[in-house]
Amino acid sequence: MSGWELVVGAASVSDSTSSKTVVADCAGGKKALGGGYTISGSVEVVAQSSYPSDDDTWTVVAVENDNEPGDWSVTAYVICATVLP
């Protein structure tokens, strides 16, 4: 393995939409080794799923966990590297 890097995907829109899906992608033929997310806002939000959706992409789906109105956003990140044979 070589060329390790952390890639931060684009943040979702910050609004009160209940379900949001975001991705972070590896570039240059690198493979996803792991990933995660950050959630910003003042309402209770949970990640419904956080997973590698293919060899070079990390996907996160987050939803509100209560009925309180408020804006929030989610950002995915992925750890990428060139995997040597």
DSSP element (H, E) containing 68: none
- The tokens of 80 are what? 């990428």
Band (67; pLDDT cuts 50, 70, 90): confident
CA pair distance 50, 61, nearest whole angstrom: 7
Residue with tokens 């910050």: 14
- pTM tops 0.85, yes or no: yes
- Name 11's Cβ contacts closer than 8 Å, sequence gap at least 6: 22, 40, 73, 74, 75
Q: What is the DSSP letter of 26?
A: -
Instruction: Give bridge partners of residue 29 from the DSSP assignment.
Output: none
- The tokens of 34 are what? 């792991």
Domains of the chain, CATH where assigned: 2-82 (2.60.40)
* 8-66 pLDDT tens trace: 999 999 999 889 999 999 999 999 999 999 999 988 999 999 999 999 999 999 999 87
